Amino acid sequence: MNRDLFPVTQLWTYLNNAAESPLNTAAHARTLEYFSLALSAPHTKPSTVRAEVRSLLADLLGGAPEDFALTCSTNSGLNSVAAGITWAAGDNVVLPSGEHWSNAFPWLALRERGVEVRRVPLSGDGIVRPEDVAAHVDARTRVVAHAHVQFATGFRANLKRLSAIAHSVGALLVVDGIQAAGAVPLHLVEDGVDIYAAGGFKWLLGFPGTGFLYVSPAARARVQPTAPGMHAAGPSLTELSYHPDARAYEGGSLAYALFHGWAAGLRLLKEVGVEVIFRRNMGLTAALLAGLAGKPHVTILSPREEGARSQIVVVTAGSVERNGELCAKLLAGGVVVANRGESVRISPNWFNSEAEIHRLLELLEL
């Protein structure tokens, strides 16, 4: 693994990838390329970045390029889906407790339209059991909304099982994928995912302000575009003729410089391989979990089952105050993690080393 691609490794032990990926040199160089053109010859700026990013996303995640709409965030994609479904009073949405705001607020807002939001409780080990999801769905369930990897626990869901549950009652499986895409192998078509939304600035090696919305061909018949921009339809100024693919969910101009740079990050992921990245990260977190198990003053909150854990490990020192002290100690030792108040989130990625995991564990001994 070429650590030189991530200059942050020369300064910090960066174990906070679930918050934001550090900028890599490939994306940095390509972004500067765009800025240079904008500065000296704006008429020569590339105009094909939309097609390039869609193609790379399809290569990495499955589906076809035409199944992807480009967005600015996870939440913008999920809000467009929630707004585009024709709801009736008494319909319901099923989602786990503890979902990120991006995957909770769009559905909670539907309560004003008479839609019931059913929350599935987490088990004591932080896992959302598929049988518990199944117990909450019925003939009036229109959407099963679920994170692929849960931001506060690191729980990794089985999308194929969830899609079977949703489809058994004719519901759509809508997935918040920001903590999984680029780090967890994904086969959108084979897994039966209807809708998958993510931002680009975490495991996909992009920037805040970049993202995508995957909408399967079958789901496109059930989710209407609600905020069309110039890229959602044909060029007519008098008729609204939507594109026959996921571009129908796009708005107007994007942050093109950021998307141009993001394409280099996506290409880097393609070159390394998500399967390789996943195995690497599972090895790093296995070493982390083994070391943490011997620390009596730290409690592991993440699932440890092989089929349920991810590249995110969450622990607590027992209180908000102690967690703050733990994070401050780590930062003073050059180790960056996320202080989430009630917990501490540790999230290595493939450019991290075993030595960095050991450094964190050593600091916990002090």
pLDDT digit string, tens, across residues 163-215: 999 999 999 999 999 999 999 999 999 999 999 999 999 999 999 999 999 99
pLDDT of residue 259: 97
User: Crossing angle, helix 256-272 and helix 25-40, to 10 degrees?
Assistant: 150
Is 104 in contact with 74 (CB distance < 8 Å)? Answer: no
> Which residues, at least 6 apart from 352, have a Cβ–Cβ distance to it below 8 Å?
9, 13, 14, 15, 284
- E strands, the chain, in order: 13-14, 68-71, 92-96, 116-120, 141-147, 172-176, 195-199, 211-215, 299-300, 313-316, 335-336, 338-339, 344-346
Q: Regarding the domain with residue range 3-17+274-365, which homologous superfamily does it belong to in the CATH classification?
A: Aspartate Aminotransferase, domain 1 (3.90.1150.10)
pLDDT in tens, 110-161: 999 999 999 999 887 889 999 999 999 999 999 999 999 999 999 999 999 9
The DSSP line for 239-254 is ---B-SSGGGG--S--
Q: Which CATH number fits domain 28-270: 3.40.1010.20, 3.40.50.1860, 3.40.50.2300, 3.40.640.10?
A: 3.40.640.10
Helix, strand or coil for residue 94?
strand
Residue spans of the domains in the chain: they are: 3-17+274-365, 28-270
Residues of the chain falling short of pLDDT 70: 1, 366
d(CA 300, CA 293): 8
> Which residues, at least 6 apart from 290, have a Cβ–Cβ distance to it below 8 Å?
none
Dihedral sign computed on CA atoms, order 209, 215, 219, 223: positive
d(CA 228, CA 147): 26
d(CA 41, CA 45): 7
pLDDT of residue 366: 65
d(CA 211, CA 215): 13
Backbone angles phi, psi at 96, to 5 degrees: -70, 155
> Which residues, at least 6 apart from 88, have a Cβ–Cβ distance to it below 8 Å?
114
